[in-house]
Amino acid sequence: MSKIFNDLEQDDIDGARENLGEMEAHIQRAAFDSAQSVPDKKLDQYFNERVPPTLYTITRLDAPSKAESERRLQTIREQMVKGREKKAKSMEESVKAFKVADDHISKLLQELPSRREVQYRLIILGGVFVSVVALLLTIASFNVGVL
């Protein structure tokens, strides 16, 4: 903005227009990068939180199936690509595409049990398994002693 004001003070209208164009392009890049970074960060969070589908089954946690997750991730990827493609043509369409991607990944994250929840359940299941084995061994050793 200071360059624009300097140009205007010096009656350099062409220079002011050129600097105004550069400022608009900078603002658009900032808006585009911000719109893209939100779903990107959530995708990273999703991939860091996700565990193999078998662990959700073992721990009896309700999570989107592998097929459902892949279908939804494909939709998110398509929206991200659409957002990047629209950048040059329409900032509004680009931001809308990133918003749709963000909505999808936000919902997927809400439905995904946390890695910590899976770990806690695995610990509990492991404890139950060890307790049952110990109980069975105790019963077996008691029966051997009775004979």
| pLDDT digits (tens), the chain, 147 positions | 788 778 778 888 888 888 788 887 777 777 677 778 889 999 999 999 999 999 999 999 999 998 999 999 999 999 998 888 866 577 788 888 999 999 999 999 999 999 999 999 999 999 999 999 999 999 988 877 665
DSSP labels for 11-77? Answer: T-HHHHHHHHHHHHHHHHHHHHHHHHHHHHHHHHHHHHH---HHHHHHTT-----HHHHHHHHHHHH
Which residues neighbour 115 within 8 Å (Cβ) at sequence distance 6 or greater? 48, 49, 50, 51
CA-CA-CA-CA torsion sign (89, 92, 97, 98): positive
